[in-house]
Amino acid sequence: MKNLSIIVLISTMSLLLLVGCASMKDAREAKGQGEVKIYDVPLESAWAAAVEVINDLELELVSEDREKGLIQAQRPISAFSWGEHIALFLEGSNGSTQVEIVNKKSNAANITAKNWTPKIFAGLDEKLGPGI
């Protein structure tokens, strides 16, 4: 009976961990659903600042695709969180750059996951001037 209880407990815990999981792909595919700011700087300057901010926040830079205007970062699993996936979409136009940030928890049940969007925008504001 004790073994059955342990099996049920482990199965339930495993199921809870899998329900509501998000991936880097989910963050990427949520383009248009994130928070947006526009900075009065060229795309190259905004891009360099975004990479710097990611490094300053000690997030893991996963990939950069300038052709798609996409920077992906993540916070891996830690003692305090199951991790987060972050996608930054940068689009330059007429000397200014629009930055959209999508932040997804790796697990929906993760109540300790951070929303990195405000911290990333604060870092960009510090490096580029206040965005609108």
Residue 5: inside a domain: no
In a domain, 42, yes or no: yes
The CA distance from 41 to 26, in Å, is 29
Q: What are the pLDDT digits (tens) for 77-108?
A: 766 666 899 999 999 999 999 999 999 887 66
Which domain range does residue 42 map to?
21-128
Prediction pTM value: 0.79
For position 40, which CATH number holds?
3.30.310.80
Residue 85 lies in a domain: yes
E strands, 24-132, in order: 35-39, 60-65, 70-75, 84-93, 96-105
pLDDT, average across residues 13-40: 73
Structurally, the chain folds into a number of domains equal to: 1
- Distance between CA atoms of 119 and 88, rounded to whole angstroms? 13
Q: Where are the alpha helices (DSSP H) in 1-132?
A: 2-18, 24-29, 43-56, 117-128
